Structure 1
Amino acid sequence: MSDDGDGLRTLVFGLDGACLPILDPLFSAGRLPNLRSIFDDGFSGPLESQLPPWTPSAWPSLFTGVNPGKHGVFSFLDYDGYDWSVVDGSDVRAVPVWEHLSRQGLTSVVVNVPVTHPPREFDGALVPGYMAPDAPRCHPPDLLSDLREEMGEYRVYPETTDASPEEAADEYRDVVEMRGEAFCLLADRYDPDFGFLQFQQTDTVFHEFPDERGTVRAVYEAVDEQVGRVLDATDPDTVLVVSDHGMGEMTGTGFYVNEFLAEHGYAAVTQGGDGMPSWVPTRESRLRDGSDADDEGAKNRSLLRRLTAVAADYGITTSRAGRLLSAVGLREFASEHVPSGVVRASGRQVDFPASEAYMRARIECGVRINLEGRDPDGVVPPERYESLRTDLISLLEGVETPDGEPLFEDVARREAYFDGPEEDRAVDIVTVPADFDHFLSAELSGDEFAEPGQPWNHKRDGVVAMAGDGVGGPLENAHIFDVTPTLLALFGVPMSTEMDGEVLSPVEFVGKRSYSTRRQEAGDSERATESTRATEPDESTTSEERMENRLAALGYLE
């Protein structure tokens, strides 16, 4: 199949965290006319996400059509034994839809899609999104400088550290507008067959300003304005709106998994050691008391606010922050006034090498076994692996909330959710909180239960809508794995037999055939080596620390 020269055939708008419970009230209020027109003119419904339903793992599942056991990204962090690094596009081991289309002679423009840095060769243009450095490499290599020359400014991340809700809303609008302008410029330049434009702020706003309905509304209105702008500029034949997961208020409890495992003798606890660090939660470091009365406490709060703002810029982790605050006499004050505690590194930690089982990070939604022969200091013999999983599953299935309700809707072996050559990178036991209404934490707090760590949390159901050519009939049982097979079908390209989804019901099935979804077949497929990353100016340690801090500010890293 080759480019027919008829302009943009299929356009995807990605709205991170969008779902019908958020969109429907805004539709009813007349706030989102452009998005609503897509929903009204076509077919829409919930889009079930995967496990875990978080940005770095879910978007690759959506744009490759395979589960994390095949594409290899399970979390914001990638683990090598007990060490970790922030994930990027080189960790995605499956071919994205635009590379599949490129093999068919079709051109794509991709803007702001998460976990796409560093980009790979394909026919078209790509500007990376979330998880990329501040000044990411694009495809082609000079694309970012070209955009900045034409637009005046282009940023991957909004600058909202220590901003008021009103200031943040303005910053969100600016960044959202940059996405729309960049896509229109590139669409005009490349005349693509396929376009994919993602907006991250529809998720970010709930993490940074969960109680500010006006700020949330401002973000969605800004996105809707850019949706209309892009539709007017490109006039696509077919349009899809997709999200990686949903978002909703959390009304359940907080459950400290490692505290529970330690209590039952599975997790070892130490003062310091080789456990997971705690990152500075800069979002939480906006103090409970916003007043700046002229007293000693107010002066300290003001200084602490400035210190945490510096941390946001330089990626200061908790261990670094502890030394900094001690030096200026604010360590005790911070522990009293910062809700999540800026300083925790000197406290109790899970000792990974000495533990039989532990939760590495809450967003993995599960428990990892410290297996001999797989993990560097594994203590669980292979012959005990299955019996230990059985014991832990039974133990976790019996956990009840303080109200006497089951905490988990499912506790299962990882094979129930992950399948593929990368599945060994997953947790060994998957834990699915009931309705995703309970907050799982990997921290050691002293108690097994507490108030949820965040007022809003990701939900399993996102949203999908589709309208235009090639779309007809009701939409049923949509899953995030189905998006890539559906996009390929819209171009008459059979899906791979290795893909885990199916073509969504409103689009005609064009068959399956055997071809690899693994990235080795795409050329330049190996993960970037440490030496390569070290020589790239935008892959510096500072960039990774800044990303750690952003993730902590949003509550993803504890």
Structure 2
Amino acid sequence: MINHTNGQGRPTSKRVLVIGLDGATFDLIKPWAGAGELPNLQCILNGGAHASLDSTLPPMTAPAWTSFATGTNPGKHRLYDWIARDPDSYQFSPTTALDGQVPTIYTLLSQAGRRVCALNVPMTYPAQPVNGVMLSGMPAPDLQANISYPPTLLDEIVQHTGDYILYPDPGQAYSDSGVDAFLQRLYRCTDLRIRAFDYLRSQEDWDFAMMVFNGTDTISHAMWKYMDRNHPLHDPQQFEKYGRSILNFYRTVDAYLGKVLASLGDNTVLMLMSDHGFGPFHKFIHVNNWLIREQFMQVGGSVRAHVKKRLFDAGFAPMNVYNTLMQLGFGALKRKVVRGQGQGLLKTLFLSFADVDWSRTVAYSLGNVGQICINV
């Protein structure tokens, strides 16, 4: 955090600028900054205050950014993941900002008459009326959704930038043929995001402005194996081409921070923050498979469920099919299925929650970091 004073040690700041680096970690930032690769981040580390903070439980983007926005833990704001179960049934649906139970900083500042400028902050979808402007981040589904306030804001931004991209596509990088396309879209998305945020900051008389770079998280998911020589999927031949990909993106962010630092007035506090850290990801398990094996989750007794269970035991599982699609060059089809456009087909072919005998099920896993829910 960089804070300007009046020369007598007392803050003179009247505005707050927050830059979020999703998934950023000091494990990368400090060595790179110390080596001269990230000079502006090094300047901020030297000239401001910094510390490592614990993330939320679970340490995920959705609950963590909501905890920042509300000052409460997930047990109070009630957003634990990107999806949640309907308390009156066993139907599951995406969570949004409307599911939050605690007022956010954007709302509280607006009620206090402060001007807000928020762009690409996770869990701000759908965009809520604020005293200022808001362009939603995750989990906004597309540009046609209710992602901006006022509703004309997105069109105004596109008129200035020429385009706007909600997200990069990390799924492209899961096949060797798609890595370059992923990186190209990532940098295009980031450039448009920066231009949009700079435009809004120049147009608005804001008191609180915030933007989140989700690319620091996305590129770490997709490209860590190229950097990490100990990763089981590391390819030494690809290291020369892609081994600095994560560093290069951090350098892009660092260059932007340099421009931000140069433009700060004496009345502005700059805060950098992350929602969680990052590290190597060598293996994963399917928790529900383990719950079925240990009989904490029970498959129903219908003929269809029985047949799907037999096929599952024989290896006919989504991950195996996904891997085959990727190897055959059908990565785009795989991504469409995973993102919901083929969920009906998945439920027809494979075991799903629709095949669970909930009356005999003790626990189930929901989400993507392995949290286990008790069936009560």
TM-score (normalised: structure 2): 0.77
Q: Distance in 2 between matches of 1:105 and 1:37?
A: 33
Alignment correspondent of 2:198: 184
Alignment correspondent of 1:481: none
Give the counterpart letter for 1:148 in structure 2.
V
Q: Distance in 2 between matches of 1:56 and 1:157?
A: 15
Q: CA deviation digits over 1:322-358, x for unaligned, max 9? A: 98xxxxxxxxxxxxxxxxxxxx715898715133312
Alignment correspondent of 1:205: 219
Q: Distance in 1 between matches of 2:296 and 2:195?
A: 53
Alignment correspondent of 2:368: 363
Alignment correspondent of 1:132: 140
Q: What is the DSSP-based 3-state SS (H/G/I as helix, E as strand, rest coil) of the residue aligned with 1:308?
A: helix
Asked if the contact 1:130–1:200 (Cα under 8 Å) also holds between the matched residues in 2, the reply is no
Q: Distance in 1 between matches of 2:118 and 2:74?
A: 21
1:227 aligns with 2:257: yes
**Of 149, 162, 171, the match for 2:159:** 149
Q: CA distance change for structure 1 residues 311 and 27 in 2, over 3 Å: closer, same or farther?
A: same
Q: Distance in 1 between matches of 2:130 and 2:195?
A: 22
Matches within 5 A, 1:399-414: none
Shift of 1:83: 0.5
Give the counterpart letter for 1:63 in structure 2.
A
Q: CA distance change for structure 1 residues 265 and 7 in 2, over 3 Å: closer, same or farther?
A: closer
**RMSD after superposition:** 3.2
Q: Distance in 1 between matches of 2:324 and 2:67?
A: 33
Q: CA distance change for structure 1 residues 77 and 110 in 2, over 3 Å: closer, same or farther?
A: same
Alignment correspondent of 2:84: 78
Q: Distance in 1 between matches of 2:37 and 2:201?
A: 27
Give the counterpart letter for 2:258 in structure 1.
G
Asked if the contact 1:177–1:226 (Cα under 8 Å) also holds between the matched residues in 2, the reply is no
Q: CA distance change for structure 1 residues 310 and 105 in 2, over 3 Å: closer, same or farther?
A: closer
Q: CA deviation digits over 1:189-226, x for unaligned, max 9? A: 11211111101111111222332332212221222222
Shift of 1:143: 0.2
Q: CA distance change for structure 1 residues 315 and 122 in 2, over 3 Å: closer, same or farther?
A: same
Asked if the contact 2:322–2:334 (Cα under 8 Å) also holds between the matched residues in 1, the reply is no
Q: CA distance change for structure 1 residues 272 and 34 in 2, over 3 Å: closer, same or farther?
A: farther
Q: What is the DSSP-based 3-state SS (H/G/I as helix, E as strand, rest coil) of the residue aligned with 2:142?
A: coil
Shift of 1:265: 3.8
Shift of 1:284: 5.6
Shift of 1:256: 4.8
Asked if the contact 1:267–1:350 (Cα under 8 Å) also holds between the matched residues in 2, the reply is no
TM-score (normalised: structure 1): 0.53
Gaps of 5+ in 1: 1-5, 289-300, 324-343, 372-558
Give the counterpart letter for 1:215 in structure 2.
S
Gaps of 5+ in 2: 1-11, 228-243, 310-316
Q: Distance in 1 between matches of 2:286 and 2:180?
A: 34
1:247 aligns with 2:278: yes
Give the counterpart letter for 1:94 in structure 2.
V
1:158 aligns with 2:172: no
Matches within 5 A, 1:27-42: 27-42=33-48
Q: What is the DSSP-based 3-state SS (H/G/I as helix, E as strand, rest coil) of the residue aligned with 2:278?
A: strand
**Of 68, 90, 103, the match for 1:95:** 103
Alignment correspondent of 2:333: 307
Asked if the contact 1:148–1:154 (Cα under 8 Å) also holds between the matched residues in 2, the reply is yes
Give the counterpart letter for 2:108 in structure 1.
H
Q: CA distance change for structure 1 residues 364 and 130 in 2, over 3 Å: closer, same or farther?
A: same
Q: Distance in 1 between matches of 2:58 and 2:366?
A: 12
Shift of 1:259: 4.3
Q: CA deviation digits over 1:441-481, x for unaligned, max 9? A: xxxxxxxxxxxxxxxxxxxxxxxxxxxxxxxxxxxxxxxxx
Identity %: 27
Q: Distance in 1 between matches of 2:69 and 2:172?
A: 34
Asked if the contact 1:160–1:171 (Cα under 8 Å) also holds between the matched residues in 2, the reply is no
Shift of 1:153: 0.6
Q: CA distance change for structure 1 residues 306 and 52 in 2, over 3 Å: closer, same or farther?
A: closer
Q: What is the DSSP-based 3-state SS (H/G/I as helix, E as strand, rest coil) of the residue aligned with 2:225?
A: coil
Higher relative contact order (CA 8 A, sep 6+): 1
Asked if the contact 2:65–2:122 (Cα under 8 Å) also holds between the matched residues in 1, the reply is yes
Q: Distance in 2 between matches of 1:159 and 1:259?
A: 28
Q: CA distance change for structure 1 residues 280 and 102 in 2, over 3 Å: closer, same or farther?
A: farther
Q: Distance in 2 between matches of 1:34 and 1:105?
A: 33
1:58 aligns with 2:89: no
Q: CA distance change for structure 1 residues 348 and 76 in 2, over 3 Å: closer, same or farther?
A: closer
- Between Structure 1 and Structure 2, the one with more strand by share is 1
Q: What is the DSSP-based 3-state SS (H/G/I as helix, E as strand, rest coil) of the residue aligned with 1:174?
A: helix
Asked if the contact 2:364–2:375 (Cα under 8 Å) also holds between the matched residues in 1, the reply is no
Q: CA distance change for structure 1 residues 286 and 43 in 2, over 3 Å: closer, same or farther?
A: farther
Count of residues paired in the alignment: 329
Alignment correspondent of 2:29: 23
Q: Distance in 1 between matches of 2:353 and 2:72?
A: 38
Shift of 1:237: 2.1
Q: CA deviation digits over 1:503-531, x for unaligned, max 9? A: xxxxxxxxxxxxxxxxxxxxxxxxxxxxx
Q: Distance in 2 between matches of 1:143 and 1:210?
A: 35
Q: CA distance change for structure 1 residues 71 and 168 in 2, over 3 Å: closer, same or farther?
A: same
Q: Distance in 2 between matches of 1:76 and 1:68?
A: 13
Q: Distance in 2 between matches of 1:202 and 1:117?
A: 20
Alignment correspondent of 2:312: none
